[in-house]
Amino acid sequence: MNDWTFSEAERAAVYRAIHTRRDIRSTFLPQPIPDAILWRLLGAAAAAPSVGFMQPTEIIVIRDAEVRRQIHAHFESVNRAAAEVYTDADRRAYDALKLAAIIETPLNLCFTCDTTTQRGRGLGRQTMPETAVFSTVCAVQNVWLAARAENIGVGWVSILEPETVKTRLDIPAHLTLVAYLCVGYVSEFPAQPELETKGWEHARDLTEMVYFDRYGVRQP
Amino acid sequence: MNDWTFSEAERAAVYRAIHTRRDIRSTFLPQPIPDAILWRLLGAAAAAPSVGFMQPTEIIVIRDAEVRRQIHAHFESVNRAAAEVYTDADRRAYDALKLAAIIETPLNLCFTCDTTTQRGRGLGRQTMPETAVFSTVCAVQNVWLAARAENIGVGWVSILEPETVKTRLDIPAHLTLVAYLCVGYVSEFPAQPELETKGWEHARDLTEMVYFDRYGVRQP
């Protein structure tokens, strides 16, 4: 054991966060998130990996009710359009899903990425410039798991026009909007993903997702 | 306390993984990763969130030495070209960095995303189709944190041409290459990011990364 070694109990806790994290839409409670806990979540974002250590992520903490109302109104409008691609049973299933909790949650977090920053001096971004934005996604996942460990739920809303959200939040044109999260305490963490429970999609078998040495090879 | 509540010790373990995770390049050990632990890491990937529960991620587990030699040769070639953009002290600093451990690690993991899959029935992808690839990045971060809890190091190599890697690994044209990881046990987890220790880039203050209600507003 070194001082950097994780114990079995610590390892189990990390896996527990990974496996019981959920995309929460409908079990949020209104109670506010204390500032000390908010800053722990933000600290988890700052600890995320970034290509070339460029740290391109900035986060807007949204608690103002009027700002959230504006984002919610935009979501409603975009979601009506999104529903139009579904027909019959699919449309009824889609309409029965709750897909955002912008108003009900006391806290929204908007993640942006500055792909133009000189920080990191371009290291690692010549052949895969998309890794700048990927760095911000890693920050989102860190926050999601930290929130789970705080017994706080998170729902990622992607039914938004990035440019409209940027305008509403005064986000400069050169920044990329990466994620918009609804964050709050919950009455429960469901055992299964909600889209699985509601029959929207089934879970894949792990073995179906894995190949060995080359794509398509099932056994090592 | 509900049965889904995290204890303080569990919460601390999750934050410990988040804050002590490192992008490892130079302290890898050759010992192989047991299959049971490999499958736990892969299970962490499968537990990642995905837009519309589309689960677009597939992973190639690479242990074959010849495959790794081919990818390493490609990395060396691309890295020589990448170094050319730096001059003088920057060039010397770049050349002194170790940026991949494809050969030294016993295990490489290549993450792909199928943005064309019908799984998830397009939910959440109409206005932000990039969230398909983001789902795969969330899987990468899950594996990175799970590895930290297993006392296993991970280095993400982005100095690769995605199309070349796809060809080398027989990855179908319609899939997106998202990440290539070097994975192995380590002699230590450094206290600070290596690019910080080596003076390539400094760490940002957390408060500099956070705004309230609208971009540019520092106080709520």
Q: Can you tell me the ipTM of this complex? A: 0.98
Name the percent of chain A lying above pLDDT 90: 98
pLDDT at B2 over 90: no
Residue A60 confidence class, pLDDT cut points 50, 70, 90: very high
Query: Which tens digits make up the pLDDT trace of A97-117?
Result: 999 999 999 999 999 999 999
Mean pLDDT of A106-135: 96
- Write the Ramachandran bin of B147: left for phi over 0, alpha for psi from -120 to 50, otherwise beta: alpha
Cβ neighbours, 10 Å, residue B180? 26
B206 three-class SS:
helix
pLDDT at A87: 96
Residue B219 confidence class, pLDDT cut points 50, 70, 90: confident
Q: CB–CB of B141 and A49 under 8 A?
A: yes
Chain B CB within 8 Å of residue A176 CB: no
Beta bridge partners of A58: A112
| Location of structure tokens 């006392």 | B151
pLDDT at A1: 55
Q: Which of B40, B142, B170, B207 to mutate to test the interface with A (most CBs of A within 10 A)?
A: B142
A181: which 2 tokens?
């999260």
What is the signed CA dihedral for B170, B172, B176, B182, rounded to 10 degrees? -20
Q: What angle do CA A67, A72, A77 make, to 5 degrees?
A: 130
pLDDT at B1 over 70: no
Query: Which tens digits make up the pLDDT trace of B86-112?
Result: 999 999 999 999 999 999 999 999 999
DSSP letters, A92-140, are: HHHHH-----TTTSSEEEEEEE-TT--GGGGTT-SS-TTHHHHHHHHHH
pTM metric for this prediction: 0.98
pLDDT at A2 over 60: yes
Q: Which of B116, B133, B147 is nearest to B43 (CA)?
A: B147
Chain B CB within 8 Å of residue A51 CB: yes
Name the percent of chain B lying above pLDDT 70: 99
Q: CB–CB of A60 and B213 under 8 A?
A: yes
Residue A219 confidence class, pLDDT cut points 50, 70, 90: confident
d(CA A102, CA A72): 6
